[in-house]
Structure 1
Amino acid sequence: MIGTVNAFQISGLDEKEFWQFFKACAFGKENYEGDPSLQSIGRQIAKALKGCPLAARSVGALLNRNVSYEHWKTIRDKWKSLQIKDDDFIPILKLSYDYLPSHLQRCFSYCSLFPEDHPFSAATLVQVWISQNFVQCEDIGKGLEETGLQYLGSLVDLGFFQKVDRHYVMHDLMHDLAQQVSAKECYTVRGLQSSTIRQGIRHLSIITTGDDNDKNTNFPTEKYEEILQKIRPLQKLRSLMLFGSSSVYLLKSIQTVCKEAKCLRLLRVCVLNTDISAIHTFLNPHHLRYLEFIRVSETKDMLVYGDYKDAAFPRALTSFYHLQVLDVGFSGNISVPAAMNNLVKLRHLIADAKVHFSIGGVGNMISLQKLKFKVQNISGFDIRQLQSMNKLVTLVISHLENVKTKDEANGARLIDKEYLKKLFLSWSVGCMSLEPERTKDVLEGLQPHHNLKALCIAGYTGPTSPTWLSSNLSVTSLQTIHLVNCREWRILGSLEMLIEILS
């Protein structure tokens, strides 16, 4: 509207450059000069893609699954039957989607619930898929999370996701495709522009980002309520996600939705401090698997994402026995009820370290995969709490000065934790009770399983290595070791062997 020149229309890649890129995607190398019949089919397809790199990557990955004349001819013939219009690449991408195995189709189409250009965390995305039972383990030696990451890797290789830095993103055209193929089960309320809502949808998201700068008095709550009233029946609803800080004004409106949706498995909701203590009152604890709170602060002029202050988990939340993921964010402290350890199926607790430190009897939570544990001389907080937590993948143990003997340290049974990949052990700096021989005995008793890949030791005051890290090196899978403030450690035995293992 304010431009001084005409809009510049961006065309596709140059035909020659595009053919090189297409060959790299389809044959695995851009200088392929092999089978002429395959090249002929490839050129026919590449010409129709009009220089679009995303289409080349998607169709090329599909062709690359089976570099044979029969497979390529089948793809070409199916592609021709789609009667593709100029610059309409969705049918081409849909063809690639149709060739996906059913489990990858479910995972991809579900992502239509997220806003466009949403930066996906691999861990979060996999946890969401698991909550919907989309991830199935066929290999006994692999966990659900590892299998889910393989699913994501396959979708990246096939062009449905792109990795950008530490996150994953979905191209706009892929997002459009996800919406199209998920229309029977997923629906997104984007602002006040709602289309026809199918009956009996299973997954619902509400995106209010366009209204995030509005004050409470200006937010169109009633109009959103009118849209929500059209979403019936709710007995089949499995997911409810809210995006945008202003969605806190819809919390009362979605109470009815949650009460009717008795089989809800996933809830992602923006909350004020005062909302947390009451959120459980309209949730059914029997089916909920994933619960995520996004903290919002109310300022004079607008809503902003912030930290928790004087918030507390309601005791009733401890009866959500099937909960697998509880995500309250890493910033801000929240008070924990005494019976928090009832959540025996909780796999992931995404929260400030103080929340982890406050869980008494955490040893009951045997499904946890990541834990920050502070050893304390109080019942329910001793290091033996870790004994049966054999699903841990990442473990941080601090205040090890409160462990007195090797036998006490051995009570953590780190040697039994075959899934443990990252281990952080620390003693408090400057603690007067750090006797070198005692700390050496304690470290000796904390021998990890040989599958451990990363080890960090901080504040250790012993003069020598534990036997499991020296002459009798048992951590044979170790890839990194990080030593911090271990100033008295004079001898790192069998350094040559250790360097060989790390390399």
Structure 2
Amino acid sequence: MNQMHRVITDRLQGKRFLLVLDDVWDGSCWMSLQVPLKCAAPGSKIIVTTRSSKVAKMMALKIHQLGFLSDTNCWFVCQDAALRGRDPSIIDGSLISIGQSIAARCKGLPLAANAAGNVLSSAIDRNHWEPVEQSYLWDSDVVGQILPALLVSYNSLEKHLKRCFSYCSLFPKEYMFRKNKLVRLWLAQGFVEADKERQPEDIASKYFDDLVEKFFFQRSPYHQESFACYKDYTNSSSNRYIMHNLYHELADYVSAKEYSRIENSTLSNVDEGARHLSLAPSEVQCNEVIQFYPLHNQYSKEYHIPRLRTLLVVQKDDPKNDENTLNINFPSCLFKLFGSLRALDLSNTNVEQLPHSVGELIHLRYLSLENTNIKYLPESISALFKLHSMNLKCCNCLSELPQGIKFLTNLRHLELPSMYDWNVYMPSGIGELANLQTMNTIKVGNDSGSCSMDDLVHLNKLRGQLYISGIENIRSAQITSEPSIKGKGELHKLTLHWSCSDSMFPDDASYVLDSLQPHPDLKELTIKGFSGIIFPLWLGSQYMFNLSVLELKDCENCEELPSLGQLPCLKHLLISSLTCLKHVGRMFYGYEKTSCDGHRSSTSRAFPKLVTLKFMNMNSWEQWDEVEATDFPFLHHLTIKTWIFLRCAERILECYCNIGAYTEIGLRGSDVQLSEVESDKGVSFHAVQYEDVGFAVVSVFVAAASSTVIDVTPQAIFGNSG
């Protein structure tokens, strides 16, 4: 934070600014943020928008409370939502009259006007708008605090969307919804209508998108997850969503009969007719032990709750440390009470083991133990033949998967801990789970009873990302003619990791990597710990025409880079810890045709789409061949953080000033002396010595694009990654 403060201070020192902080919910960082802002010139302004009076009082000297909209402005909001970018002329005079009548019933509330307009957007005609205007729900006395416009909006939903929305009442207000999780819970309950042409997950995902489009969900601005450090490539299915409190109250209202959310620490006095139950303790009660018993009715008879289909333990936010883990206490016979259970979620609790009786939940389709201290899974879990989703993410104490996991042939999603944090034994037989769509990681073992690459051959439904570790355990003689990865066209991200590169000869490593050629639709590829000397030809060929992100890490024996310059979609390239590499030559650019004087054809150019290029820890690097003026046409950010021999550092800078990118170069050494360089394009740089860290940071700008050079510390530029 101190480094960031320094950057902000340097930028704002003595200057006036206007800062807009939009839709603020949490003011806890406000005091820290103010520190670097105080250096600005008088007249600077900060505008904060928030729906929280607590945040407003904490942050603002002057509070402007927005009033209600006029009926006219309500109609403008309503009309805009109804049109969705279409030509306003399609709304004739009679429709305008109906729309204005509907807008007047929104009582000046923008959210209500937006919801009403969304209902009207389905069809711009009188036959659709008049029933909305005449709905009895506008004047209903039973709605209580629920906005009539929201109830009208809910009433317009199709039946399957109503069920999916009602299910959300199991989660507390201000909960961050994960799309994948909700989709799989809906699937477990049978809310998804069958379709021969599409996967159930795709249909349920469309349900979710429909609810977002109709404003029942909003994308959270605080949880935009992206791959690596590349902001323009986002896994939308992992994004978080929030639900406005008024929509949440609507969910509570429409789901009251079958859904129950308990917000204290005792699971008791539950209606025997409940079908869906969640335990969502408040922040105050999170430190208490949550009791799953006694479960008794008024006659002190034990409940069996025969119709219960969902049991969730829910926290508002994902825990960031052990202190936020919920402590639960339940009897070993608990699962015998819930014979019809389809979804069980004990995530973020102190659970260390499941009783053998979990195998009696024969209808269970969804099981989540994410972020628990579970040490092993009982073999009885192999009796859960209907299970389609099992979440074991962040279960870093889990030492092995049960041998019987291969019998869970309906399993579609198996989420495992990250291989960075997890050392686990994976048994053979995973390959029999032919319906698997999600398996984020697999570890190849070194004995006959452990998982092997043969287990991957028939898993051609895998989607998303896959991390393969233990590749050093693959032997050349074990490689079959059937491709283990090439047929998996739904994978978008693949990591190949040699956990112990010294255990494989370079020639064997090269042969193995050549056999691991992925599908041409792959978007991201990381190769880590490869012990071969050269990379396979498929990596640099236009066969990988969809590859957007490539990372080559810890390939310590490699003596030359693959030919990557002609990959048509490559946007981000990271090359790290190739410690034997001395020369980055013209082969790197992928030049196919050269003239007699050694220059390549004028019709080709290297790295036509590359935006980010980073070199890290290239400790033997001595030479980098010059590029042509037409190469790297879109390069925005060039980073070098390495031990570079100083005799070539200045030459590198002279050559790469011509790229025209914003360039940051970190040179380790005690005495770094670099003279100022200016290219024919007016690009200049200067070096700054930071004695405390022994780095020189060189910032290069195109003069036309920026008249200033910003000097920041190496940590701010490079972080701690290697």
Counterpart of 2:415 in structure 1 is 350
Q: Which of the pair has more CA radius of gyration?
A: 2
Counterpart of 1:371 in structure 2 is 440
Paired residues of 2:352 and 2:373 also in contact (CA < 8 A): no
Are 1:323 and 2:387 matched, yes or no?
Answer: yes
Say which of 484, 491, 504 aligns to 1:413: 484
The residue identity in structure 1 corresponding to 2:492 is K
Are 1:390 and 2:465 matched, yes or no?
Answer: no
C-alpha distance in 2, partners of 1:112/1:62? 22
Are 1:401 and 2:501 matched, yes or no?
Answer: no
Q: Which runs of structure 2 are paired with 1:17-96 in the superposition (5 Å)?
A: 17-29=73-85, 32=88, 35-78=92-135, 82-83=139-140, 88-96=145-153
Task: Tell me the TM-score normalised to structure 2 length.
Answer: 0.58
Are 1:453 and 2:544 matched, yes or no?
Answer: no
User: How many residues were matched structurally?
Assistant: 479
Alignment RMSD, CA only?
3.9
Greater shift, 259-268 or 84-93, is seen at: 84-93
Query: 5+ residue gaps in structure 2?
Result: 1-53, 58-62, 222-238, 316-323, 571-606, 611-722
Are 1:314 and 2:378 matched, yes or no?
Answer: yes
Counterpart of 1:251 in structure 2 is 330
Deviation track 1:333-363 (CA, whole Å, cap 9, x = no partner) reads: 2132333333332222333246684221122
Counterpart of 2:160 in structure 1 is 103
C-alpha distance in 2, partners of 1:215/1:293? 20
Counterpart of 1:190 in structure 2 is 263
Paired residues of 2:72 and 2:100 also in contact (CA < 8 A): no
1:22–1:381 Cα change, 3 Å? same
C-alpha distance in 2, partners of 1:175/1:102? 18
The residue identity in structure 2 corresponding to 1:423 is L
| Structure 1 residue 196, shift from structure 2 partner | 9.9
Q: Which runs of structure 2 are paired with 1:260-339 in the superposition (5 Å)?
A: 260-269=337-346, 276-281=352-357, 284-293=360-369, 308=373, 311-336=375-400, 337-339=402-404
Paired residues of 2:217 and 2:243 also in contact (CA < 8 A): yes
1:183–1:214 Cα change, 3 Å? same
Residue aligned with 2:135, SS? helix
| Structure 1 residue 372, shift from structure 2 partner | 1.2
Counterpart of 2:427 in structure 1 is 360
Residue aligned with 1:316, SS? helix
Counterpart of 2:60 in structure 1 is none
The residue identity in structure 2 corresponding to 1:152 is F
1:48–1:272 Cα change, 3 Å? closer
| Structure 1 residue 55, shift from structure 2 partner | 1.7
Say which of 233, 244, 249 aligns to 1:176: 249
Counterpart of 1:425 in structure 2 is 496
C-alpha distance in 1, partners of 2:500/2:339? 51
Paired residues of 1:401 and 1:434 also in contact (CA < 8 A): no
Residue aligned with 1:431, SS? helix
Residue aligned with 1:335, SS? coil
Paired residues of 1:462 and 1:489 also in contact (CA < 8 A): no
The residue identity in structure 2 corresponding to 1:408 is I
Deviation track 1:357-394 (CA, whole Å, cap 9, x = no partner) reads: 42211223333322312223221332222112222112
1:317–1:488 Cα change, 3 Å? same
| Structure 1 residue 98, shift from structure 2 partner | 1.9
Counterpart of 1:480 in structure 2 is 549
C-alpha distance in 1, partners of 2:130/2:516? 60
C-alpha distance in 2, partners of 1:413/1:358? 20
| Structure 1 residue 154, shift from structure 2 partner | 0.7
Paired residues of 2:348 and 2:369 also in contact (CA < 8 A): yes
The residue identity in structure 2 corresponding to 1:119 is M
Are 1:491 and 2:562 matched, yes or no?
Answer: yes
C-alpha distance in 2, partners of 1:465/1:20? 60
| Structure 1 residue 49, shift from structure 2 partner | 0.9
Paired residues of 1:451 and 1:478 also in contact (CA < 8 A): yes
1:111–1:283 Cα change, 3 Å? farther
| Structure 1 residue 71, shift from structure 2 partner | 1.3
1:233–1:249 Cα change, 3 Å? closer
1:341–1:196 Cα change, 3 Å? closer
C-alpha distance in 1, partners of 2:287/2:485? 52
The residue identity in structure 2 corresponding to 1:325 is S
Query: 5+ residue gaps in structure 1?
Result: 296-306
C-alpha distance in 2, partners of 1:199/1:285? 18
1:37–1:457 Cα change, 3 Å? farther
